[in-house]
Every structure is written in C-alpha cells, then in structure tokens.
Amino acid sequence: GEDVEQSLFLSVREGDSSVINCTYTDSSSTYLYWYKQEPGAGLQLLTYIFSNMDMKQDQRLTVLLNKKDKHLSLRIADTQTGDSAIYFCAERGNFGNEKLTFGTGTRLTIIP
Amino acid sequence: DAGVIQSPRHEVTEMGQEVTLRCKPISGHDYLFWYRQTMMRGLELLIYFNNNVPIDDSGMPEDRFSAKMPNASFSTLKIQPSEPRDSAVYFCASSLGGSLNEQFFGPGTRLTVL
C-alpha cells in the first residue's frame, strides 16, 4: 500500500527558516498536502500542491515537489513561536479515491 | 458553520465497557472519515463514508469496532468491548468530494480505557 514518511522532530531558532521533508511511494498521487496540528486540536489544511506543479508559494510557506524522487518539502520562512505544531504530509491517489494517506507527522519546536 | 462537531471531548471508561463516539459533519459535505491517533502508530484512517455508505473499512482494527452513518448529519464509532490498547484520540473529518477534497477535522475525542 501507499506509504508516507517524515522525520519525527525538528528544532529551529526563531526567525530562521524551517524545512520539513516528506517522502511518499504512490506514483499516482494527484494532490499532496501539508496539514498543521496545534496542541489539543484537530488537523487543519495549511497548503497543498497539485502533482503537475513543482513549486507553490503562499506568503511564508513554500512547497517543493520532486515527483521523480517522490519528495515533498515545506519551508516556513521567518519561523515564529506560533508555528510550533505537528506538521503532517499527506497524499491522495487517483481522482475518485478520496482517501488520504498521512505521514507520521513532524513536531516542530521553536527555540527562542 | 460550526465546523465538525465531536462528542464527547473526553471519555474515561473501564475495560470491557461499550464506548460510543459521535460526529456531526459540516453541512453539505458528502464524505466522512474516522481516524485514530496514537503516539506509536500516528494517524490511522479507520473507515470512511460517502453519502452515508461505508466505502473503505480496511483500517478498522477488529470486530470490536463498528461505525455507522444513519444520515448525512450524524455518525457514530462504537467500541464494544473496549480495551486499554484502544486508548487514543479519535478524530472525525468531513469533506466535499472533488478535486481538492480538503478534509476538515473535528477537535477529537480523547479516549482513555482503564
């Protein structure tokens, strides 16, 4: 079946850039997503990228997709304390398949 | 819209008891998903429905787990009998099927089985 992998932890100094990486196995992925989970809450969609794109920028967020290597990354510029959360990568297979496969999540800790 | 509503927010029960978790999806959404989150296994999809019909229940751990969606605005996840290893946070999410299919998550139910 599909598999999505992420490293579990990342620590970054306030003001620096954070880069969270994700690899996936499903070559038929259509959309790839980044969800954010704050303590005690459910997941919220942060951003997404369609599989025929290789980059998407949205304010402080930059998503890079290397479809050949099945590698997705999320860069957060000028990381703030409010960015502390768990970040989940998720992929969706063929159109018509509404199921998302989530990674394990990366816990981002901001060092003052 | 109030978003996805789950109840209860916290549940503490004893091993062997029946547990029922409830979910009200966002009005108009045609997909509903039940997930379980634990430290050991991360976020797992248990089952999902389309237009109240179960589509994929391959993630349901065993026969002790059952889920129903009697109408478009309500779903339940039942565990009978409950075991300590069922302790987790259970999330319900809903979406409007289509290209992006953004899933909107509820706040979760934290279940503790003693």
What does the pLDDT read at residue B99?
64
The residue of chain B nearest to residue A49, with distances taken between CA atoms, is B100
Which residues in A lie closer than 8 A to residue B55 (C-beta atoms)? Answer: 98
Cβ contact (<8 Å) for B48 and A99?
Answer: yes
What is the rounded distance in angstroms from the CA atom of residue B29 to the CA atom of residue A44? 16
Whether B57 and B47 have beta carbons less than 8 Å apart is answered as yes
User: Residue B86, SS3?
Assistant: helix
- Residues in contact with B37: Cβ distance below 8 Å, sequence separation at least 6, in sequence order: B43, B44, B88, B89, B90, B91, B108
Average pLDDT, chain A: 92
Each residue of B6-59: pLDDT tens digit? 999 999 999 999 999 999 999 999 999 999 999 888 899 999 999 999 999 999
Which residues in B lie closer than 8 A to residue A98 (C-beta atoms)? Answer: 31, 48, 50, 55, 95, 97, 101
What does the pLDDT read at residue A2?
72
Give the closest-approach CA distance of B105 to chain A in angstroms. Answer: 5
